[in-house]
Amino acid sequence: MKKPWAGRFTEKTSKSVEDFTESISFDKKLWKYDIEGSIAHAKMLSKQGIISKRDSGRIVRGLKDIWTEIEEGRFRFREELEDIHMNIEAALIKKVGDAGGMLHTARSRNDQVALDLRLYVRASVEEIIGLLRRLETVLADLADGTLGIVMPGYTHTQRAQPVLLAHHVMAYAQMFRRDRMRFGDALKRINVLPLGSCALAGTGLPIDRQYVASLLKFDSVSDNSMDSVSDRDFALEFLSCAAVLMMHVSRMAEEMVLWSSEEFGFVEIADAFATGSSIMPQKKNPDVAELMRGKTGRVYGNLMSLLTVMKGLPMTYNRDMQEDKEPLFDTADTLRAVLSILPEMLKNMTFDAARLRQSSDAAFSTATDIAEYLVNKGLPFRTAHEITGKIVRFCLDNGKQLHDLDLESYRLFSPKIEKDVFDVISSSASVNAKKSYGGTSPTAVKAQIKRFRNSLK
Amino acid sequence: MKKPWAGRFTEKTSKSVEDFTESISFDKKLWKYDIEGSIAHAKMLSKQGIISKRDSGRIVRGLKDIWTEIEEGRFRFREELEDIHMNIEAALIKKVGDAGGMLHTARSRNDQVALDLRLYVRASVEEIIGLLRRLETVLADLADGTLGIVMPGYTHTQRAQPVLLAHHVMAYAQMFRRDRMRFGDALKRINVLPLGSCALAGTGLPIDRQYVASLLKFDSVSDNSMDSVSDRDFALEFLSCAAVLMMHVSRMAEEMVLWSSEEFGFVEIADAFATGSSIMPQKKNPDVAELMRGKTGRVYGNLMSLLTVMKGLPMTYNRDMQEDKEPLFDTADTLRAVLSILPEMLKNMTFDAARLRQSSDAAFSTATDIAEYLVNKGLPFRTAHEITGKIVRFCLDNGKQLHDLDLESYRLFSPKIEKDVFDVISSSASVNAKKSYGGTSPTAVKAQIKRFRNSLK
Amino acid sequence: MKKPWAGRFTEKTSKSVEDFTESISFDKKLWKYDIEGSIAHAKMLSKQGIISKRDSGRIVRGLKDIWTEIEEGRFRFREELEDIHMNIEAALIKKVGDAGGMLHTARSRNDQVALDLRLYVRASVEEIIGLLRRLETVLADLADGTLGIVMPGYTHTQRAQPVLLAHHVMAYAQMFRRDRMRFGDALKRINVLPLGSCALAGTGLPIDRQYVASLLKFDSVSDNSMDSVSDRDFALEFLSCAAVLMMHVSRMAEEMVLWSSEEFGFVEIADAFATGSSIMPQKKNPDVAELMRGKTGRVYGNLMSLLTVMKGLPMTYNRDMQEDKEPLFDTADTLRAVLSILPEMLKNMTFDAARLRQSSDAAFSTATDIAEYLVNKGLPFRTAHEITGKIVRFCLDNGKQLHDLDLESYRLFSPKIEKDVFDVISSSASVNAKKSYGGTSPTAVKAQIKRFRNSLK
Amino acid sequence: MKKPWAGRFTEKTSKSVEDFTESISFDKKLWKYDIEGSIAHAKMLSKQGIISKRDSGRIVRGLKDIWTEIEEGRFRFREELEDIHMNIEAALIKKVGDAGGMLHTARSRNDQVALDLRLYVRASVEEIIGLLRRLETVLADLADGTLGIVMPGYTHTQRAQPVLLAHHVMAYAQMFRRDRMRFGDALKRINVLPLGSCALAGTGLPIDRQYVASLLKFDSVSDNSMDSVSDRDFALEFLSCAAVLMMHVSRMAEEMVLWSSEEFGFVEIADAFATGSSIMPQKKNPDVAELMRGKTGRVYGNLMSLLTVMKGLPMTYNRDMQEDKEPLFDTADTLRAVLSILPEMLKNMTFDAARLRQSSDAAFSTATDIAEYLVNKGLPFRTAHEITGKIVRFCLDNGKQLHDLDLESYRLFSPKIEKDVFDVISSSASVNAKKSYGGTSPTAVKAQIKRFRNSLK
């Protein structure tokens, strides 16, 4: 197979080099975008009179045939043709003859691959945004449906204060909302047409880049041809958004794992979303959650990978940049899988409301409420805090809970304490009181859910 | 020194633990933000009648005194007080007595540190945006002033096609513009008030978070108290933007290093921005550029550091998150230093226009123009490319440049070639021809600079 | 202050460049190693007749004075002298005059900094190896002292099979042993003398590198002067070992956090190793363990940082490499702190043996033993596994534990089950049975501890 | 398809979960190791009387049949069977009936996958060590064959001092030697048998782990069953070694790219190891070197990926760890490809000796030799350095090289300079003088090559 650059060369490429440098084994994933881009390019070339309408027609028909062949699995990708661009072009030339050779006019693989990649990332981001929106909806619904459940809120994996399960759930909804916003902002920088930058310098041919942009639904046209073929910050921004998203996923997954342990026992994951053990018959393992948590590593690694590739590369295109694709593909696939399964898993979890409440009643999680109670009675916060600490110490030393003490006992710690202290030491009372904006009282959480749903529209 | 939580504990903290867990050695950097936040909090507490106007007044005056003491270096930070919040609060109580203890009402260190950090990151981002704007201006000016200089454009560190130096410079301007946009978008998620989330659940006290937000110039108030004290995605977004920016810096630095080598000889960095060797008297080293390139590692590492810290943490605040500060501080400091020096260095570089032109004339960098010339004469691009490849091969084998061949020699390769071929093989002609939008012709570059400057306004 | 390279330069270094390029603010940490190296160098120079004995004597005395001044805090480090090497040399020249200027003979800052860094890393590794050995001893002692405690062994954070707490503890001992071995192997590549490589090419002066190596206790002398001044793989190997070690620490810390939660309740961390909350009086937080887990991020980040710095640097020394120090220093400091505190914390934890046993009796953790029992009765493992799975399902559906069923009930699932089944369903029986090499029976664990202690000698 | 754990479950696994959790699509790569391990396990089981000789014989024959089927591409891997272990076991049971079910006796997928992975990593390391040895040999041969070529040695990408090309080449040989040593040390921790640890606790069956180790050629048997199934530090050590190796590769690749630029022009890469441009006919791009440099990102990313996966995982096996395989496979494949091509490429490069010498004569690269000359005449080094700096400054200002000055001119800078100065200012003289151990003189480099070759034996 003669290489497209064969003219200048006297020796043939070695086979091991061909294997080392080929990208068709993974960049074939770009076929749809490559064909779409070529069709738009061909239409522009004929509109501008650079090639004939007839040639353009042939090219477009040829490309559509190739589309069908690939879709139906009838297309043979050939490694010796290096990449997706050459594979499709070679097939086109075979199909429509010389006209096919016209397609590469005013175009280089440098701007072509930048185009394909932007189309790929754009489509991925749009899909991910859709999946995030669905996940947020499911979380808001879950919150709405569990407003009655009180649970312990944790800091340091220690019970801290009672909260609504719905509030906890909404915390994740807020995170994923920000993730969605980030991807949305990234789109502004992704959705820019690089085609027409050619190898690096632009062209002398009278191309119309705005026309191509409108055919391919790009918001704008890149402003500098060298920048267009050599930068990949749009890809890095995508990977960064993905890494932060996976950080959030890993936190939620961690909690699913903990909550489905025998020790916590807060939730049961549906059988369909768990797996068993080949040796221990009693096991029901939260494998899906664990794998999600594990896949964080993959996405962090992909980000680090491309950051490393791009570090210190001089202008403009360098072959190192061929290494941009696999981290992107792997990340998009991972996000797609995780975000598809997560809502289904959430919808198939059963919370143990009794155990959640019981846990939030125990472990002095309303101690802060006693402290606030004392503040309301006029003590400075630090003093109130210290008195409450002594009450807790007393309970710990005597194996008691806060509701086991009688008024007399309480008053040994502070004469400010009166009968109404018993109104603040139940977890329900504690939760109901937290009416501040963004707080955990049912009223505040309902308002939060309402605002959230409005923002989803 | 009694700990704020001493009530419940029976043993004292060990000294080595105190050393291990203290953060005052680095979080004292947040002092301004901590005081600002406390002042706003105190004002709100008294406005809402939670504390008296008198106490609020005392607190504010006390805090302002502390501000002055720190500014003048008279404040003694104490490690046994753990962190900046306790250091300032202890000093306040010492100064104003019981009123100081009131300040912690309806607040926890969890939302306080989240507030301080957001104020710090916001200020850093605003400063970085300003520095980027300045850098972009300098680059646009540099481009404007070098419109007459032609140089080789590179792919694969091989001369590819002639370009304008101004075009090359503008490629970087475009990158930094996108970096600035990214930081701007990040601000939307940074500039959200977390205070009022308290430990994690909100509060029963009648606080007014919107009022605090307006005092501290936040765009909005966080919607979920658990999310507010436990997430750090705003910090990760900042670090991601920084990593991408440093990737761009590393590329520019790499080119400065290459261009100031004897081999390239394109540029001379001013003595003030270079250093010498302790052993080799002739050396003039581009140390500043090298260090900028090297500092990419630090910023990538900081991103990876915080991503790792946050991975798999359950809700809400965990002490691991104390590790969020140093990567942020170090990154902000690095960006500030790099972005301050870069424009000065750029303004003090001397380009060797003759050498740049000479390099762009050699090495067949207008071969593509011959290929385009043949396309214009009606050949398909692939054929034109192959013919040109053979011309280059012939020149290489015979030690000639493109302008050394006469018409007859050219016509041996294709009868389509005519006298006007000599109009396309000079680098000036090549550059002038690239009139496409975003291309490298002087017209296109002038238009680009104009658009760019408009976007800077 | 005149720079050491001032001869060739016409302009002065700008102040901002001085600030940007200085390293004295952090490399002063190398002062001991710098002086040690210089003393050895001076002795060699005079031994070889390159400088006079008298000059050498003056230099050595001068350096020793400087040592004392620094130790006593009387030395003023000056930023305009860039780095530790110039600071000490300038002080030396001031002290002993021209003789001081002789010290830089046959030496460059390139090999000098490589020397200092190797001495620093060597000392750090030796200290870390000592700390690891102590940690391993404490773990082995802890295991020895807890041989009677049975607990649930986990997979997927689900109870799997009963194990000895001692076995669990020894698992960590094994990990830290491998970490220690790794650092030991790294020493082979760290402990190589680079001095005498000069700037990059070696020297024409008749130096004796073997002599310097013996003075500084290096195992060998580097073989290639260019390699010696430009590579930092010894530093990367140190950081890699550190990253793997911190991975282990993070796992142990995670378990400490989980085990000290109310839900697990397996362990109580001593008050001296925990902290409380400024707002929630009842809290006792495992902050030290959390911080250790969090510090994993820092060490991973440092590794990534230096890997990035070194990527793609051409030979030999480049200023980028100044960025090698802070990640090394920070990592060594972190390891030192973590490894110092960890053994103390372990010695001050109280295990709740009753709760551990109770947890290991519940949750069907001996189900595998029933399956093995059935295998012993002649069933294929897969069949035995399935029968046991059905028994567990039956118990779950009827709210029973394995020891709640009578023989009749068991025989409904398989007629192979006989009275002796009750000998295998207690967690003690389960543990005692696991006599395989490396298994969890008391006999096997005692043997393991014995082997382990032997390897520590 | 019934899952191996179906007994306890009431719902079927959802299809999307099956897709999400399957690993057969990549862990089928382990088939050889899985079968090898199973054969050894079956032999041991029958030797110990745990299963009959007959059953063992059937199992071994069945497994060998499966080996042949896979080798010949006749085996159908099924996703619903999750992983390689279940795929092979299911095929075995189909082939040999109940006997197949015996194979899982005293084994779990936890220790089985740890075994497979260790066998895979061991084989990869052994192959990589072989490839490194070959690369080192090629480099030593290349050095040996280029002893006559002088070139500029660089610091800061600025010409510093003349060196032998052979010395430069040997610098890389030294790096790769250390890489090989590192992989060799890692083998000590890789080559340990985990099988017999079962799920996590060991077993009550009378297995003989030492026997299995001897069959599979392991140096030792793991000491702690929990550690054996849950740690992956051996994998991380492999990835760390790989990252450092790729750092070295990236540096060499960077130099190949630079040296084959028009500006340097030091080397021509053979056509077979370069590629052209689809649009620029004159281009000959060092794509192979660029891709090698780029693949550094992938390997760094893989390391970061697994470090992240393992961070903070509690004991013992967690499903997250399924994510350990792809980074390992990808890294091993990358190293194999890079190390196979590199020696071939090196053997097919043509150095331009004339240009190398010419470059080393220019640019004052022997200035240090003048300084050393002045030291020999009795000046302190710092003074000598300054005088030489002034000579260079004078030459720069007057457009001269060092050999353009006459003695009189030299003596204007120092009366110590005499006629013999002209013996030190040629690059050959400079190189020849550097006779110190590890220096760049031909004598020293020959000795270095000799030592190096001895160490390769």
CATH no. for C359-456? 1.10.40.30
* Average of per-residue pLDDT values in chain A: 93
> Which residue in A279, A286, A388 is closest to C385 by CB distance?
A279
C396 pLDDT above the threshold of 80: yes
What was the pLDDT predicted at B1?
45
A279 pLDDT above the threshold of 70: no
> Which residue in D154, D179, D229 is closest to C315 by CB distance?
D154
What was the pLDDT predicted at D451?
98
> Which residue in A11, A19, A276 is closest to D270 by CB distance?
A11
CB contact under 8 A, B314 and A160: no
CB contact under 8 A, A199 and B368: yes
Q: What is the mean pLDDT of residues A274-301?
A: 86
Query: Chain centroid to CA D387: how far?
Result: 46
CB contact under 8 A, C303 and B298: no
Supply the Cα-derived Rg of chain B in whole angstroms.
30
Chain B residues touching A225 at Cβ < 8 A: 167, 434, 436, 438-440
Give the model's confidence band at A381: pLDDT under 50 very low, under 70 low, under 90 confident, else very high. confident
Q: For residue range A62-113, what is the model confidence (pLDDT) as tens digits?
A: 999 999 999 999 999 998 899 999 999 999 999 999 889 889 889 999 999 9
Chain C residues touching D380 at Cβ < 8 A: 98, 101-102
Separation between Cα atoms, residue A224 and residue D206, nearest integer Å: 73
Which residue is catalytic, options C14, C16, C156, C436?
C156
CB contact under 8 A, D307 and A294: no
User: B356: nearest CA in chain D?
Assistant: D263
CB contact under 8 A, C257 and A156: yes
Contact criterion met (CB below 8 Å) for D372 and C203: yes
Report the 10 Å Cβ neighbour count for A66.
23
Of A352-361, A365-374, C145-154, the poorest mean pLDDT is in A365-374
Which residue, among C81, C282, C309, C320, would best test binding to B if mutated, counting the most B CBs under 10 Å from its CB?
A: C320
Which residue is catalytic, options A16, A156, A278, A436?
A156
Chain D residues touching A298 at Cβ < 8 A: 305, 309, 323, 326-327
Catalytic residues of B, which ones? 156, 277
Within 8 A by CB and 6+ apart from A450, the residues are none
CB contact under 8 A, D320 and A13: no
- Cα→Cα distances A98→A49, A320, D48, Å: 17, 32, 74
> Which residue in B260, B261, B281 is closest to D385 by CB distance?
B281
Q: For residue range A302-356, what is the model confidence (pLDDT) as tens digits?
A: 999 999 999 999 999 999 999 999 999 999 999 999 999 999 999 999 999 999 9
Q: For residue range D267-278, what is the model confidence (pLDDT) as tens digits?
A: 999 888 887 766
Catalytic residues of D, which ones? 156, 277
**In chain C, where the domains are located:** 15-105, 110-146+165-354, 359-456
Q: What is the mean pLDDT of residues D83-109?
A: 92
- Give the HSE-up count for residue A32: Cα atoms under 13 Å, Cβ half-sphere: 9
> Which residue in C237, C254, C441 is closest to D182 by CB distance?
C237
Chain B, chain C: beta-carbon pairs less than 8 Å apart: 230
Give the model's confidence band at A10: pLDDT under 50 very low, under 70 low, under 90 confident, else very high. low
Return the closest-CA partner of residue A179 out of A248, A122, A112.
Answer: A248
Of A102-106, B352-356, C236-240, D34-38, the poorest mean pLDDT is in A102-106
Return the closest-CA partner of residue C405 out of C389, C415, C392.
Answer: C392
CA distance A201 to chain D (A): 12
What was the pLDDT predicted at C189?
98
Alpha carbon dihedral A262, A265, A270, A271, in 10-degree steps, equals 10
Structure tokens at C351: 């295990």
Separation between Cα atoms, residue A321 and residue B155, nearest integer Å: 11
CA distance C184 to chain A (A): 28
CB contact under 8 A, A156 and B317: yes
Which residue, among B38, B108, B223, would best test binding to A if mutated, counting the most A CBs under 10 Å from its CB?
A: B223
Q: For residue range C234-280, what is the model confidence (pLDDT) as tens digits?
A: 999 999 999 999 999 999 999 999 999 999 999 999 888 887 766 66
User: C105: nearest CA in chain B?
Assistant: B279
Contact criterion met (CB below 8 Å) for C257 and C293: yes
Burial A192-208 (b: 16+ CB within 10 A, else e): bbbbbbbbbbbbbbebb
Separation between Cα atoms, residue C207 and residue A391, nearest integer Å: 75
CB contact under 8 A, D277 and A19: no
CATH no. for C15-105? 1.10.275.10
D54 pLDDT above the threshold of 80: yes
Chain C, chain D: beta-carbon pairs less than 8 Å apart: 393
Chain B residues touching A163 at Cβ < 8 A: 200-201, 226
pTM: 0.96
CB contact under 8 A, A306 and D296: no
Structure tokens at C234: 């010894």
User: A340: nearest CA in chain D?
Assistant: D16
B256 pLDDT above the threshold of 50: yes
Pairing mode, if any, of strands C192-193 and B220-221?
unpaired
CATH 1.20.200.10 is held by the domain D110-146+165-354: yes
Compute the C-alpha angle B377/B383/B386, nearest 5°: 120
Which chains lie within 8 Å of chain C at 3 or more CB pairs, if any? Answer: A, B, D
Contact criterion met (CB below 8 Å) for C6 and B278: no
Percent of chain B surpassing pLDDT 90: 79
Which residue, among A280, A359, A410, would best test binding to C if mutated, counting the most C CBs under 10 Å from its CB?
A: A280
What was the pLDDT predicted at B8?
65
Q: What single-letter DSSP state applies at residue D13?
A: P
Which chains lie within 8 Å of chain A at 3 or more CB pairs, if any? Answer: B, C, D
Q: For residue range B260-314, what is the model confidence (pLDDT) as tens digits?
A: 999 999 999 988 888 776 666 667 899 999 999 999 999 999 999 999 999 999 9
CB contact under 8 A, B86 and C278: yes
Chain B residues touching A154 at Cβ < 8 A: 200, 314-316
Compute the C-alpha angle D452/D456/D142, nearest 5°: 60
CB contact under 8 A, D13 and A337: no
D150 pLDDT above the threshold of 70: yes
CB contact under 8 A, B365 and D281: no
Within 8 A by CB and 6+ apart from B261, the residues are D157, D158, D263
CA distance C176 to chain D (A): 11
CB contact under 8 A, C159 and A365: no
D280 pLDDT above the threshold of 80: no
ipTM over 0.90: yes
CB contact under 8 A, D261 and B157: yes
Chain C residues touching A286 at Cβ < 8 A: 156-158
Give the model's confidence band at D1: pLDDT under 50 very low, under 70 low, under 90 confident, else very high. very low
Which chains lie within 8 Å of chain D at 3 or more CB pairs, if any? Answer: A, B, C
Compute the C-alpha angle B304/B309/B310, nearest 5°: 100
Which residue is catalytic, options C52, C220, C261, C277?
C277
